[in-house]
């Protein structure tokens, strides 16, 4: 199947699922389309057991599709920019300590607790996996997925200060998580040889370098937007910023996700306020909202279809189920500690810790990171566990976060 044919099939399938969800299921679009894609995949697997082998046909058609490359080097930059575009910078500045603490201290703490907990769970289930690989899983699964989180935030009402904390954390901890994942991958697959100094230098290069690069390209784009008054040109400039900026950041060896988030904040605030007419702002918002909705829907369809490519065994399935409460505990600790540290300086709304723990959704990024690992039994196990955790997160946590928020904030 050619690239265009595959793209056409995915868009068609996503459109049909979106239509059916809107007419009948009436769930949030991302959850509804993923649920139907998952049901389709499970149905194909079931038909195979009845002698109707559609599953192999679909796998054959999609065999050249690389989920991790499509998301991490294609869709992610668009989705991060679209999310950052609507974050108010002054609101974010007020919550900067909370966002920074959650995206750094919270991620590191959660990674350690998740990795350690998984190590003992797997030992109990008599599944052999070394501690560095368990920590690697902690790194890829601990950061909340900005795509999943922002998609759900559109469907629920959350107190403004809490919404900024959740959205800001998800946008920045993704970049931090990818950096931790890269470092732990080197340790897990190459053994020792990674010193503390190397870790610090790598982190500074990736995170600080990404932020500075995003600031530079975002400001250059802002100046260009300020010099024109044509919404077609302005939209094209933002597209160039997202695609060219992410590609150049990756080529320079700095964090593309962090760069695009910073650039998106600049365009969404300075650019919208000082460089665009009312007509340009309206058209820019409409364009990026459509990009966001379409890519989100396609991504969650892909998550549902991806089950066809996974290898499951009974013990691995048990390991995935057991990893869910461990992750929730790790997430709780990763929220509790930063909140306790900064509570004297910043106020938190009722039920903030509980809502942020349960609302810390995982989506396509953890799956893509797991799939990017070198081939081997370790990869197959981690992909299976990741997939089970992600499905639980989207379907169970995603569908129950609204009543949980209403429990603490019935006025909303």
pLDDT tens-digit series, residues 303-339 = 998 888 887 888 999 999 999 999 999 999 999 999 8
Q: What percent of the chain has pLDDT over 70?
A: 94
pLDDT tens-digit readout, 11-37: 999 999 999 999 999 999 999 999 999
Confidence of residue 83 (pLDDT cuts 50, 70, 90): very high
Confidence of residue 375 (pLDDT cuts 50, 70, 90): confident
Confidence of residue 58 (pLDDT cuts 50, 70, 90): low
Name the least confident of 183-187, 240-244, 292-296, 320-324. 183-187
* Alpha helices per DSSP H over 253-358: 256-266, 272-274, 278-305, 314-342, 352-358
Given a cut of 80, whether residue 3 has pLDDT beyond it is no
Q: How deeply is 9 buried, as exposed, middle or buried, from its count of CB atoms within 10 A (0-12, 13-18, 19+)?
A: middle
Confidence of residue 72 (pLDDT cuts 50, 70, 90): confident
Between 353 and 306, the higher pLDDT residue: 353
Average pLDDT over residues 386-405: 94
Query: Distances from the Cα of 173 to the Cαs of 34, 184, 223, 371, 394, in angstroms?
Result: 24, 16, 28, 20, 18
Confidence of residue 153 (pLDDT cuts 50, 70, 90): confident
| 385 neighbors 316 (Cβ within 8 angstroms) | yes
List, in order, residues 6 or more apart from 150 with CB less than 8 Å away.
79, 83, 167, 170, 171
Q: What percent of the chain has pLDDT over 90?
A: 63
Between 401 and 174, the higher pLDDT residue: 401
| 292 neighbors 82 (Cβ within 8 angstroms) | yes
Residue carrying the six token digits 């988030």: 261
In the DSSP assignment, the letter for residue 154 is T
Predicted confidence at residue 252, as pLDDT, reads: 93
Predicted confidence at residue 27, as pLDDT, reads: 92
Confidence of residue 63 (pLDDT cuts 50, 70, 90): low
Given a cut of 90, whether residue 195 has pLDDT beyond it is no
pLDDT tens-digit readout, 309-319: 887 888 999 99
Query: Distances from the Cα of 258 to the Cαs of 66, 160, 210, 326, 331, in angstroms?
Result: 23, 23, 5, 28, 22
Predicted confidence at residue 361, as pLDDT, reads: 93
C-alpha–C-alpha distance, residues 91 and 349, integer Å: 15
Given a cut of 80, whether residue 272 has pLDDT beyond it is yes
Confidence of residue 66 (pLDDT cuts 50, 70, 90): confident
Predicted confidence at residue 132, as pLDDT, reads: 93
In the DSSP assignment, the letter for residue 375 is S
For residue 237, give the 3-state DSSP assignment: helix
Confidence of residue 192 (pLDDT cuts 50, 70, 90): low
Predicted confidence at residue 166, as pLDDT, reads: 92
Two structure tokens written together for 206: 């990736």
Average pLDDT over residues 283-294: 94
List, in order, residues 6 or more apart from 325 with CB less than 8 Å away.
none
| 248 neighbors 209 (Cβ within 8 angstroms) | no
């Amino acid at each position: 199947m050619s690239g265009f044919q595959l793209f056409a099939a995915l868009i068609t399938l996503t459109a049909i699922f979106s239509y059916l969800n809107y007419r009948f299921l009436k769930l949030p679009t991302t959850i509804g389309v993923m649920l139907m894609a998952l049901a389709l995949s499970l149905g194909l697997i079931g038909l195979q057991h009845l002698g109707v082998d559609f599953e192999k046909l679909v796998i054959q058609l999609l065999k050249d599709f690389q989920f991790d490359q499509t998301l991490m080097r294609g869709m992610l930059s668009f989705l991060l920019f679209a999310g950052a575009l609507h974050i108010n910078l002054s609101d974010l500045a007020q919550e900067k300590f909370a966002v920074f603490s959650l995206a750094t201290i919270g991620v590191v703490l959660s990674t350690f607790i998740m990795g350690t907990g998984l190590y003992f769970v797997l030992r109990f289930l008599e599944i052999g996996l070394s501690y560095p690989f368990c920590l690697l899983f902690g790194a890829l699964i601990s950061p909340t997925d900005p795509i999943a989180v922002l998609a759900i935030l559109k469907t629920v009402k959350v107190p403004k200060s809490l919404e900024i904390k959740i959205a800001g954390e998800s946008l920045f901890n993704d970049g931090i998580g990818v950096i931790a994942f890269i470092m732990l991958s080197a340790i897990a697959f190459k053994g020792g040889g990674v010193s503390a100094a190397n870790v610090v230098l790598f982190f500074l290069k990736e995170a600080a370098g990404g932020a500075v690069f995003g600031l530079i390209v975002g400001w250059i784009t802002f100046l260009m937007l300020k010099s024109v008054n044509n919404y077609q040109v302005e939209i094209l400039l933002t597209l160039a910023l997202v695609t060219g900026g992410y590609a150049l950041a990756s080529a320079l060896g700095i964090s593309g996700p962090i760069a695009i988030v910073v650039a998106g904040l600049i365009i969404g605030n300075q650019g919208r306020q000082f460089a665009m007419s009312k007509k340009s702002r309206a058209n820019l918002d409409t364009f990026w909202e459509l990009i966001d909705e379409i890519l989100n829907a396609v991504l969650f369809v892909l998550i549902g279809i991806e089950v066809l490519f996974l290898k499951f065994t009974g013990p691995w399935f048990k390991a995935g189920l057991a990893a869910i409460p461990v992750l929730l505990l790790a997430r709780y600790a990763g929220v509790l500690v930063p909140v306790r540290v900064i509570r004297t300086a910043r106020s938190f709304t009722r039920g903030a810790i509980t809502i942020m723990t349960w609302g810390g959704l995982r989506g396509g990024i953890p799956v893509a990171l797991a799939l990017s690992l070198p081939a081997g039994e370790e990869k197959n196990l981690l992909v299976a566990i990741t997939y089970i955790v992600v499905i639980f997160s989207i379907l169970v946590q995603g569908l129950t976060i609204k009543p949980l928020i209403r429990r603490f904030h019935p006025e909303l």
